[in-house]
Amino acid sequence: MLRQLIFLFAVLNFEVQPLLMFEKVESENACLLAMCDADSGCVPKGCSIDQNERIGCGYFRLNIYQFRQCYQPGRQDDEDEETAWIKCSEDYECSAQCIKTISARYRVKCYGKSDCEAMARIHDGGANGCRDRNTAFYWKKVRDACGSACSGSFITRHRRQLF
């Protein structure tokens, strides 16, 4: 009986993986990949409701408010907001860029945090995510997934020229 269960588990484990409709995304950014994996298993389809009762969709479970905060990338003039949001959330590059845009906007509120921690906590908790202890669990999940690769600096900082 035990052998049959082990065999069944082995067969299902190897047979189910190829049945996934969407391949996992490869990215140069370990932090974004860890966030993607924590949010959706890094597959584009599906939506879920977060702890704040917001619907998040796609790779990063991007919600409509985040889509608005990152200036609605990819939205066409004749396209309604919800359609553009879903389309962006299901496109890895679009949704990752949205996450990075929001992080860059609110990074200053995360003094002393690594870029990855700031990005993860802002993504999970909004503009004040670095100050919200409810985002610590999400950050721990992301950090555990990417380890030392999450300690580097990757958010682009722009300096204004005064003259």
Q: What is the pLDDT of residues 137-158, one digit of tens each?
A: 999 999 999 888 887 665 554 4
Q: Kindly state whether residue 12 falls inside one of the protein's structural domains.
A: no
Q: Kindly state whether residue 115 falls inside one of the protein's structural domains.
A: yes
Q: What is the pLDDT of residues 79-106, one digit of tens each?
A: 999 999 999 999 999 999 999 999 999 9
3-state SS of the chain?
Answer: CHHHHHHHHHHHHHHHHHHCCCCCCCCCCHHHHHHHHHHHCCCCCCEEECCCCCEEECCCCEEHHHHHHCCCCCCCCCCCHHHHHHHHHCCHHHHHHHHHHHHHHHHHHCCCCCHHHHHHHHHHHHHHHHHCHHHHHHHHHHHHHHHHHHCCCCCCCCCCCCC
Q: Kindly state whether residue 111 falls inside one of the protein's structural domains.
A: yes
Q: Kindly state whether residue 7 falls inside one of the protein's structural domains.
A: no
Q: Token pair of 89, please?
A: 């959330």
Query: Is residue 39 predicted with pLDDT exceeding 70?
Result: yes
pLDDT at 14: 37
Q: Kindly state whether residue 16 falls inside one of the protein's structural domains.
A: no
CATH of the domain at 142: 1.10.530.10
Q: Kindly state whether residue 3 falls inside one of the protein's structural domains.
A: no
Q: Kindly state whether residue 1 falls inside one of the protein's structural domains.
A: no
* Distance of alpha carbon 98 from alpha carbon 79, whole angstroms: 18
Domain with 137, as residue range(s), is 29-147
Query: Is residue 17 predicted with pLDDT exceeding 60?
Result: no
Total number of domains constituting the chain = 1
Query: Is residue 21 predicted with pLDDT exceeding 80?
Result: no
pTM recorded for the entire structure: 0.76
